[in-house]
């Protein structure tokens, strides 16, 4: 017969064990002691930017610019306050700044980000246009803006990339991973992506930190722009050096292709599906699979 456990004893014992700081736990904590940025608040930042950039889609359409300016202004004020607070949290969590220093720097960074919103908007509208033009199933731009995973992922990425360039800690990666969780598209905020970028379907796409992508590039589902190998210093620490591909203008990469290492795919090239590529490709190339091999199996053996 199983003896009945005392609830209070189990709870108190577990609390006592888990409340102790382990050596490994302490070693993983950053220098600062402030709480991390709030994940829900960071997602709200993205929502506010989306509402500002695609104002007529996510707010009631306002033909008069004065009324439109009012609604955008309300969102902008909330965005500034929220971003200011979350950047300050990130600075305090990842550095030894004083609260006053973090607050001053956060205000400047939040304003710098807002000044770059017109360019973020311009780039996102090129992405919408590219996605619409590359998908015959798209019936209108609104459908692309509302529902396509490519635009969800690119909205998160464009925001995160600006913050990454401004050296805002933690928040850029939270933003891109939120899109990754929803869409299956994994774009590191450090990647450089040009205008008119589209990802058809998108599930399983991976774009590494040091990837450089030109203009008018289209990817399909399952594409990996990844690293082939890693470099280490004399002490065995991994070096953060350029290790991902460079994709030049007007390149199309079809589904499940893996392009690995610091190689260059020349402009106006097409990379076929299921290709494993670890060498440079000159402009105007067509890289396709060899002919399929018919390998018969006897009695199910070899499957």
Q: What is the mean pLDDT of the chain?
A: 90
Q: What mean pLDDT is predicted for residues 219-230? A: 93
Kindly indicate the confidence band of residue 23, based on its pLDDT and cuts at 50, 70 and 90: confident
Q: What is the pLDDT of residue 3?
A: 58
Q: What is the pLDDT of residue 61?
A: 72
| Tokens matching residue 110 | 């939040």
Contact 200, 148 (CB under 8 A): no
β-bridge partners, 213: 193, 247
Q: What pLDDT digit, counting tens, does each position of 90-126 carry? A: 999 887 788 999 999 999 999 999 999 999 999 999 9
Q: pTM for the whole thing? A: 0.88
- Look at the alpha carbons of 153, 154, 155, 159 in this order and tell me if their dihedral is positive or negative: positive
Please tell me what DSSP assigns to residue 195. Answer: S
Q: Using CB atoms within 10 A of its CB, is residue 39 exposed (0-12), middle (13-18) or buried (19+)? A: middle
Q: CA-to-CA distance for 17 and 273, rounded, in angstroms? A: 52
Q: What is the pLDDT of residue 207?
A: 98
Q: What is the pLDDT of residue 203?
A: 94
Whether 140 has a pLDDT exceeding 90, the answer reads yes
Whether 302 has a pLDDT exceeding 80, the answer reads no
Beta pairing, strands 224-226 & 206-207: parallel
H-run or E-run covering 55: helix 55-58
Q: What is the pLDDT of residue 293?
A: 53
C-alpha distances in Å from residue 144, one per residue of 94, 149, 157, 209: 37, 9, 17, 26
What is the percent of the chain with per-residue pLDDT over 90, rounded to a whole number? Answer: 73
Q: Using CB atoms within 10 A of its CB, is residue 121 exposed (0-12), middle (13-18) or buried (19+)? A: middle
Q: What is the pLDDT of residue 303?
A: 41
Contact 196, 126 (CB under 8 A): yes
Whether 72 has a pLDDT exceeding 60, the answer reads yes
Kindly indicate the confidence band of residue 230, based on its pLDDT and cuts at 50, 70 and 90: confident
Whether 127 has a pLDDT exceeding 60, the answer reads yes
Whether 33 has a pLDDT exceeding 60, the answer reads yes
Contacts of 166 (CB under 8 A, 6+ apart): 109, 112, 113
Q: What mean pLDDT is predicted for residues 67-89? A: 93
Whether 60 has a pLDDT exceeding 90, the answer reads no
Q: What pLDDT digit, counting tens, does each position of 199-218 carry? A: 999 999 999 999 999 999 99
φ, ψ of residue 232 to 5 degrees: the values are: -130, 150
Whether 298 has a pLDDT exceeding 70, the answer reads no
Alpha carbons within 13 A on the beta-carbon side of 285: 18
Kindly indicate the confidence band of residue 26, based on its pLDDT and cuts at 50, 70 and 90: confident
Whether 32 has a pLDDT exceeding 60, the answer reads no
Q: What pLDDT digit, counting tens, does each position of 172-204 carry? A: 999 999 999 999 999 999 999 999 999 999 999
Q: What pLDDT digit, counting tens, does each position of 254-294 carry? A: 999 999 999 999 999 999 999 999 999 999 999 998 665 55
Cα–chain center distance at 9: 45
Q: What is the pLDDT of residue 295?
A: 52
φ, ψ of residue 212 to 5 degrees: the values are: -125, 125
Whether 296 has a pLDDT exceeding 60, the answer reads no
| Tokens matching residue 12 | 């108190």
Q: What pLDDT digit, counting tens, does each position of 36-57 carry? A: 899 999 999 999 999 999 988 8
Q: What is the pLDDT of residue 1?
A: 44
């Amino acid at each position: 017969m199983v003896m009945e456990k005392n609830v209070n004893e189990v709870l108190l014992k577990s609390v006592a064990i888990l409340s102790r700081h382990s050596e490994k736990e302490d070693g993983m904590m950053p220098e600062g002691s402030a709480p991390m940025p709030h994940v829900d608040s960071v997602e709200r930042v993205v929502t506010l930017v989306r509402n500002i950039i695609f104002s007529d889609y996510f707010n009631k359409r306002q033909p008069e610019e004065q009324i439109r300016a009012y609604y955008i202004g309300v969102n902008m004020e909330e965005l500034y306050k929220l971003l200011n607070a979350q950047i300050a949290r990130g600075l305090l969590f990842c550095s030894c700044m004083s609260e006053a220093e973090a607050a001053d720097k956060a205000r400047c960074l939040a304003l710098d980000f807002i000044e770059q919103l017109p360019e973020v908007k311009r780039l996102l509208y090129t992405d919408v246009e590219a996605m619409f033009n590359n998908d015959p199933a798209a019936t209108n731009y609104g459908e692309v803006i509302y529902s396509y995973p490519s635009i969800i992922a690119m909205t998160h990425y464009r925001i995160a990339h600006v913050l990454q360039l401004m050296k805002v800690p933690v928040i850029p990666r939270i933003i891109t991973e939120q899109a990754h969780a929803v869409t299956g598209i994994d774009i590191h905020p450090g990647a450089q992506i040009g205008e008119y970028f589209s990802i058809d379907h998108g599930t399983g796409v991976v774009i590494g930190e040091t990837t450089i992508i030109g203009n008018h590039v289209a990817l399909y589902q399952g594409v990996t722009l990844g690293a082939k190998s890693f470099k280490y210093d004399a002490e065995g620490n991994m070096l953060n050096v350029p290790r991902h591909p460079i994709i030049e203008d007007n390149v199309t990469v079809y589904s499940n292709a893996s392009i690995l290492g610091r190689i260059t795919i020349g402009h106006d090239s097409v990379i076929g599906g299921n290709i494993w590529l670890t060498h440079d490709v000159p402009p105007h190339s067509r890289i396709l699979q060899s002919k399929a091999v018919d390998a018969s199996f006897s009695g199910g053996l070899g499957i």
